[in-house]
């Protein structure tokens, strides 16, 4: 008897596709180009999660799309925080994995330009392989990379959840062409102003500082950022997108060659190899000499200021003896330093220094002619510790009371 063979085809998700890629497919289907604009509008203006809601498309085309692409959306599991402070969103993915995004209220720009709209902190992996000793995201290691659409949908899902909480769903008419997005425009076009009033973009800045090491999921990250940046997609300016890395030197060089002008933040947390080796295993692979050379290359290629993130951890890197090496590095790389009081993680021994010790560290750094800030806002506490809500939820699921 012949054994039957079962074929599985994994469909590409429509939110992993650029306008150009969709256009190529629509040409094969002999569909007019304006149909692509309509689909993009449903996805990125109306944040539609169901093919059947795309009522301006003929039913046959909807069926063709359904058979050719998946349309996955993140499922909200838990939400923490209030609207005027920082809010954390815990999402369940199709395979049951949990990830977090964090919405930070309007503030005087921590990384990019000032804005009266909000900043979204986005995850790029489930867990993290880099195992920094202070971080909740790395505690259980890496489960997997996020797919392009799982990165992209964090913006759409947060906005969906927020607009649901704020107002009734905007009504969209059949065949409504108002606010149609146009194709063939430069990717970096400031298009927010062109958006439909029914669907204003709530988020204006992205920080890729959620769970995971973004540069270890390089290709999916860059494709997702192309979509989040494009005028037909997320419409968030590249200069308002900050990528944070623990220091993957080769990928920093690769990023320098990308055409888009993203901002780069380095999680430094130690200005000497001795200190970094203690808390960041990645430093044994790419010690400071290699990391700083890659940063210099980035600076040379992009001409954009780099930010050093420096968590202040009591008894590890917050002593005044660390100021000189940190100031020397920052001056050499013309980097700005963001000092962040450590946010305690349950089960880990580390603590933040006293406020007066934090202030003294800042004063000493500024005294060495370094551009530096100390994050004091209470609302940002939970933002700094992405990975904790997932950890807590997984622990609760494993040991229900
Ligand atoms: N993997 C990337 C991006 C995600 S981590 C990176 O390491 O840069 C985002 C930032 O949060 C990093 O600077 C990280 O060091 C910091 N962070 C992690 N745990 C923290 C904690 N408990 N308190 C404060 N900052 C933390
Ligand atoms: Fe991974 Fe960044 Fe956490 Fe280090 S700080 S374990 S690189 S997420």
pLDDT digits (tens, 9 = 90+) for 54-78: 999 999 999 999 999 999 999 999 9
**Per-residue pLDDT reduced to its tens digit, 7-40:** 667 899 999 999 999 999 999 999 999 999 999 9
Catalytic residue among 121, 132, 295, 386: 386
Mean pLDDT of 381-392: 53
Ligand 1 centre distance from Cα of residue 310 (Å): 9
Confidence check: pLDDT of 126 > 80: yes
Q: Hey, whose CA ends up nearest to atom 7 of ligand 1?
A: 246
- pLDDT(196) > 70: no
Q: Which tokens sit at 309? A: 């993130």
Q: If you average pLDDT over residues 87-93, what whole number do you get? A: 95
Ligand lying closest to the C-alpha of residue 140? 2
Q: Which ligand lies nearest to the CA atom of residue 137 in the structure?
A: 2
Q: Tokens for 336, please give them.
A: 């700005």
Q: What would the 3-class secondary structure string for 47-76 be? A: CCCCHHHCCCCCHHHHHHHHHHEECCCCEE
CA of 209 to the centre of ligand 2 (A): 9
DSSP β-bridge partners for residue 118: 203
The pLDDT confidence band at residue 94, using thresholds 50, 70 and 90, is very high
How high is the pLDDT of residue 137? 86
Burial class of residue 355, CB neighbours in 10 A (0-12, 13-18, 19+): exposed
100 is an active site residue: yes
Contact 206, 262 (CB under 8 A): no
386 catalytic per annotation: yes
State the distance between the two ends of the chain, measured CA to CA, in whole angstroms. Answer: 52
**Tell me: the pLDDT tens digits for 215-267?**
999 999 999 999 999 999 999 999 999 999 999 999 999 999 999 999 999 99
For the question of whether the overall pTM of this predicted structure is more than 0.85, the answer is yes
């Amino acid at each position: 008897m012949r054994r039957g063979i079962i074929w599985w085809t994994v469909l590409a998700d429509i939110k992993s596709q650029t306008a150009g890629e969709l256009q190529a497919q629509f040409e094969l289907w002999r569909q007019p180009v304006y149909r692509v604009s309509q689909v993009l509008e449903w996805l990125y203006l109306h944040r539609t999660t169901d093919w059947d809601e795309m009522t301006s498309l003929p039913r046959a085309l909807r069926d063709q799309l359904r058979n050719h692409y998946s349309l996955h959306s993140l499922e909200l599991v838990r939400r923490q925080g209030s609207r005027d402070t920082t809010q954390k969103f815990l999402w369940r993915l199709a395979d049951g994995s949990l990830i977090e995004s964090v919405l930070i209220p309007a503030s005087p720009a921590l990384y990019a330009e000032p804005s009266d709209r909000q900043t979204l902190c986005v995850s790029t992996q489930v867990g993290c392989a880099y195992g920094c000793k202070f971080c909740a995201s790395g505690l259980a290691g890496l489960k997997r990379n996020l797919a392009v659409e799982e990165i992209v949908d964090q913006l759409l899902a947060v906005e969906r959840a927020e607009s649901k909480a704020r107002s009734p769903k905007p009504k969209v008419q059949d065949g409504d062409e108002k606010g149609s997005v146009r194709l063939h425009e430069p990717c970096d076009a400031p298009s927010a102003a062109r958006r439909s009033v029914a669907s204003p973009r709530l988020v204006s800045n992205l920080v890729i500082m959620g769970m995971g090491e973004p540069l270890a999921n390089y290709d999916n990250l860059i494709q997702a950022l192309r979509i989040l940046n494009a005028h037909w997609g997320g419409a968030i300016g590249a200069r308002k997108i900050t990528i944070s890395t623990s220091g993957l030197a080769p990928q920093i060089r690769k990023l320098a060659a990308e055409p888009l002008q993203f901002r780069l933040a380095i999680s430094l947390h130690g200005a000497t190899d001795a200190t970094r080796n203690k808390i960041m295993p990645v430093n044994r692979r790419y010690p400071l000499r290699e990391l700083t050379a890659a940063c210099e290359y980035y600076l040379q290629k992009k001409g954009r200021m780099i930010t050093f993130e420096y968590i202040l951890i009591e008894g590890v890197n917050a002593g005044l003896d660390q100021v000189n090496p940190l100031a020397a590095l920052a001056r050499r790389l013309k980097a700005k330093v963001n000092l962040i009081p450590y946010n305690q993680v349950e089960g880990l021994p580390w603590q933040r220094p006293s406020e007066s010790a934090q202030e003294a560290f800042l004063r000493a750094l500024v005294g060495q002619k370094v551009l530096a800030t100390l994050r004091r806002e209470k609302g940002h506490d939970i933002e700094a510790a992405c990975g904790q809500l997932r950890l807590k939820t997984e622990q609760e699921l494993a040991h229900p009371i």
